[in-house]
A and B are shown apart, each in its own frame.
Chain A
Amino acid sequence: MIALAVVRDEIEALLYREARLLDERRFGEWLDLFTPDAVYWVPAGGDTPDPTRHVSFVYDDRQRLELRVDRLLGAHAWAQDPPSRICRAVTNIEVGEPAADEVDVHSALTVVEVRAGRQSLYAARCRYRLRRDDGWKIARKEVRLVNRDDVFDNLTLLL
Chain B
Amino acid sequence: MESDIDGAWLASLVEEGRVRAEIYTDPRVFEAEMARIFARTWVYVAHESEIPEPGDYKTVTLGTQPIIVVRDKERRIRVLFNRCRHRGASVCQREAGNALYFRCAYHGWTYECDGQLLGMPYASRYDPGFDREAMGLAPVSRVGTHRGFIWASLAPDGPSLDEHLGLAKGFIDAVVDVSPVGEIALTAGCQRYGYDGTWKLQMENGVDGYHPNFVHQSFATAMKKLFAGRFTADFSAAFSDSSPAVSRDLGHGHGVLDMRCFAPYGADERNGGGFNLAVFPNLIIIGAQVRSIWPVAWNRTDVVVQPVVLKGLEHLTEQRLRTHELFYGPAGFGQPDDAEIFRRLAQGLRARGLEWVDFSRGLGREHAEEGMLVGQVTDEVPQRGFYRMWRRLMTAPAGAGVTSGGRP
Contacts and interface: CB of A to CB of B under 8 A. Distances in A.
Interface of A: 42, 44-46, 49, 51-59, 63-64, 67-68, 70-71, 74-79, 81, 116, 149-156
A24 to B, nearest CB: 20
Pick the 3 closest A-B CB pairs, nearest first. A79-B336, A54-B189, A155-B330
Nearest to B341: A78
Given A53-B318, A151-B302, A155-B331, A59 B325 contact: yes
SS class, residues of chain A in contact with chain B: loop
A45 B189 contact: yes
Contacts of A55: 188-191, 305-307, 321, 324-325, 329
Contacts of A154: 330, 336, 339-340
Interface residues of B, number: 39
Nearest to B322: A59
A44 B336 contact: no
9 contacts: A45-B190, A45-B191, A52-B317, A53-B317, A58-B325, A58-B331, A149-B95, A150-B192, A153-B343
Contacts of B218: 71, 74-78
A49 B190 CA distance: 11
A152 B215 CA distance: 19
Interface centre among A45, A52, A59, A154 (most CB of B within 10 A): A154
A154 B189 CA distance: 19
A152 B192 contact: yes
B225 interface: yes
Of B215, B226, B305, B318, most buried by chain A (CB within 10 Å of CB) is: B318
Interface string B139-161: 00000000000000000000000
B188 A54 contact: yes
Contacts of A151: 192-194, 302
B52 to A, nearest CB: 16
A113 B329 CA distance: 19
A110 to B, nearest CB: 18
B307 A152 contact: no
A156 B217 contact: no
Interface in B207-246: 215, 217-219, 221-222, 225-226
